[in-house]
Amino acid sequence: MPRKPSESQDEPAAEAAAEPLPLGGLGIGAVARMTGVDEHTLRIWERRYGFPKPERSSGRARLYRIEDVRKLRLITQALSRGHRPGEVVAKDVQALEALLLAGLPEPAPVSDDPAAREREQILSALRREDVEGVRSALRRLAMMLGPRRFVVDVAHPLAIQVGELWASGQIEIHQEHLLSDCLSTQLRLLRSLFEETHGPVLLLTTLPGEPHALGLEMIALYAAAAGASTRVLGVSTPAEQLVLAARAHQAAAVGLTVTPSSNLETTSDAVRQIVAQLAPATQVWLGGAGAAQLPRTPGARLVITWPEVDAALLSLGLNGGAG
């Protein structure tokens, strides 16, 4: 799981000392009391999901709008009905209202998620600080399931689960970082088995300001197991450098992951630049939880769900479908 910048230890105290705040903004303590979302969670959601986005006072205290309070109350209603933070915090007010009107989410049958028990055992080991237990369980599942099912059934849902546990304060950030490292190591080890693959080249990266690499590693392994020659450029690659790399490697496709906290305007401009400068035969794939929020760009393909990944791989003449 990607590392998150730490809040300074004295920031909460500084914010508390800064109240009362000037007219036109609500302090973080007031918002917490009005919505039932504690101050720690508000800061986590701000970093992880890009909401709420408070202004800052001259003393650097967060200033929230009354519209933020309204949306936070909708979010808490959705959470109380079984939705997860990653599903609802980044939604706009209209989408949240529609979600609440639609009623409770359908519970997934246990048989639809055969790896759920194994993931819970890994999380239990993580909570016990049993690092070797986490590593050995991941190794065992990788051997048992194979690379692509390991990504779909273990790595991806586990990364979501641990992120939400951290966002809700149920685990510490150092535990999330630890699991991220263990997952990343296992994904890279599995991908090393496909280093001699000579299929179509798939370049993977994020744009500047997007420091999240774990999703890239999942897609890299999944695509490599399907026959792609995957090359991960790392994170925060400028658009012009990605174009140069795509030309140098004669890439059949370039893939970008986008988080919900991305600057949509800046990201959209970069995507248009990349599409315009690449050869027409080079595909541009947009994945990640924030990709669906971007304005549609002709020449760029949304690759968010695993069936969409399979379809994109098939378009390159590769073997789509987990196995």
DSSP state of 305: S
Q: Label each residue of 27-63 as H, E or C.
A: CHHHHHHHHCCCHHHHHHHHHHHCCCCCEECCCCCEE
DSSP state of 5: P
DSSP state of 26: B
DSSP state of 64: B
Backbone phi, psi, residue 237, to 5° = -90, 125
Cβ neighbours of residue 108 closer than 8 Å, sequence gap 6 or more: none
Sorted by where each starts, the structural domains of the chain and their CATH numbers stand as 11-102 (1.10.1660.10), 110-192 (1.10.1240.10), 195-315 (3.40.50.280)
pLDDT tens, residue order, the chain (323 aa): 334 443 444 455 444 444 444 445 788 888 888 888 888 889 888 888 889 989 888 888 889 988 898 899 888 888 877 788 888 898 888 888 888 877 655 444 444 566 788 999 999 999 999 999 999 999 999 988 899 999 999 999 999 888 888 877 788 889 999 999 999 999 999 999 998 878 999 999 999 988 888 999 999 999 999 999 999 999 999 999 999 999 999 999 999 999 877 788 899 999 999 999 999 999 999 998 888 888 888 999 999 898 999 999 999 998 765 54
Q: For residues 173 and 47, give the distance between their C-alpha atoms in angstroms, rounded to a whole number.
A: 13
Distances from the Cα of 172 to the Cα of 79, 163, 169, 175, angstroms? 20, 10, 7, 5
